[in-house]
Structure 1
Amino acid sequence: MANKTILELENIPLGESVAKNGTDQKKEFELALQCVEPNEKAHFMKWWAAFQDLVTWEDFKKKGYQHLSNIVEEVHEHILKAQGKPEQLKLAFMPKEIARTSPFFPMKRADMSNRPLYKDFVIENRWGTITVSGPKLSINDESVLLAVLFLAKKHRTERFETDYNEICGIMGVSRGTTQYTAIAEGLERLASSIVNTKLYETENLEKREIARSITGAILSNVDQTPKSTKVSVFLNPYFLALYGANMTTGLNLDKRAKLKGDVAKALYRFLETHSGGGVPFGLITLCNAVNLNTDQPKAEIRKVVRKSLAELQKQGNIKRWKIDKKDLVHIFK
């Protein structure tokens, strides 16, 4: 009987209350606690008191007995020790898989009004593959996502309410009807795009063995009211699993907002996942990593990459760079 109770408890879906009243909850808790291993009881009591309506006990265990609120606090404190005071940083933590193998494309403004609708569109580079079903996602959509990730960190939960005014402030863009519409449409695209990420085992690139596979919509739910700037966002819990696995890359949103070019922003995100010790990237490999169109003359590709690297250097994001005669791109951070 006791085993059945704890099994049922571990399979409680997100948001479902464990008990309908205090008496029943106390009995349920006492019965369930008897089935928990002695070394897990303190963690179980923590979960029961604070997180039972947000995550199952089984998932809480898988994430190292932590929830987003704990994890973000620890990561934030670690970065603050290395980089400065809290008020000096505006950080969003993006899963490293998405930072290296990204579904976001540099797009011309004219192309954004007529986006293709993908069905199992595959993006591949040396770090992995992403299969996208849904509308083509732009670097501006990535900016909206980073604002959402920042707010998830701020509110310490995957479900929160905000408004377009606040999102504009985080993105570092001017406020107004046009920008609000762009944000609303970006949130809709993020909720309607299904992304299947497969990360390769990077130590054995020749065999291309898959080390990790994650599938889901980036946003689980977006609730927007017409003629209102308020919005309710529910971030997909699979992003939180990446937090728990310590698979995130910290992006400074203030630094990113100063970059004007989409390719420069994409390179900034990608380079933040690397130490930047000068190990060269092949020109086409680097372009594929940031989804830059390679179906154009090499001279034009070099021109775009040089312009973007020069912008990163001017803003202090990299120290120096060069593209040698073999089209190897050397970047020093």
Structure 2
Amino acid sequence: MKWRGRRQSSNVEDQRGGSGGFGGGLGGGFGSSRRVRLPVGRRTGGMSLGTLIIVGIVLMFLGINPLTLLTGSLGDLGGSGTSYTTDEPSTGGRTTAQNDEMKQFVSVVLAETEDTWGRIFSAAGQSYPKPTLVLFSNRISSACGYASAASGPFYCPGDRKLYIDLSFYDELKRRFQAPGDFAQAYVIAHEVGHHIQNLIGVLPEFNRRRQAMSQDEANAYSVRVELQADCFAGIWANDAESRSILDVGDIDEALNAATQIGDDAIQKRTQGYVVPESFNHGSSTQRKHWFRVGYESGDVGACDTLNARSL
């Protein structure tokens, strides 16, 4: 990814080395929020009537008034997601040259998502409420409660912030065998996607509905939510490519990351067998497929995993 020398977002809070704090329950993990893109086509900045209709259908399916699109008026609920538990201590608190460079990198990635979503929201006649990216080490207290580095990256709807201990990227490379800067960018894009989902009301509606769901039902719904987030991350990759900031092999890095963090791949790695009923992010095949759908289509209408008969 051609990130050096590009604008860095000012919406980054560096809380590494802090004591963190304690709160309520765990907020969530990599994969539990969502990103939505509103324009149609691979290289366009506006929305077609067809795209608007599809977005409206998705929202109405969830019991959401389409007029609340992009307003965030449904409010903030607790975080959701899955932790990618590690058994190694965080090194994110040490201010090393590597971590400083990584801070610059994630700041650039966040800025790129700001530019993309700013144009998208502007084309829809709206302003884009930017999220904040919080860098922490070891543990952190968010509006969604207390989380540790072992939780992995997560998005908290309650404060509209993304949280990451940069040591996760070491885990992504070594433990999950997903190296590369665009694999790392995919992580941020996925969490920003959850921010977009929060703004348009999909994430709060899911949190509301799952209170009455069985665990199996909630897991199945969560998979659909997460696969759509992967699809939206693919759409961001589509937009990044249109601005010529991708290097050869970047998309392969993201696809490999999506494969390595599939529920089945993680379960095989950690417990030696797979329990499909417990999936809440999707299998490796599903995550890779839906990222590719978003990347190749560049259209939010192609990412309707909520209504898809087959995932």
> What TM-score does the superposition give when structure 2 sets the normalisation length?
0.26
- Report the structure, 1 or 2, having the larger strand content: 1
Asked which structure has the greater RCO (Cα within 8 Å, sep 6+), the reply is: 2
CA radius of gyration, larger in: 1
> What TM-score does the superposition give when structure 1 sets the normalisation length?
0.25
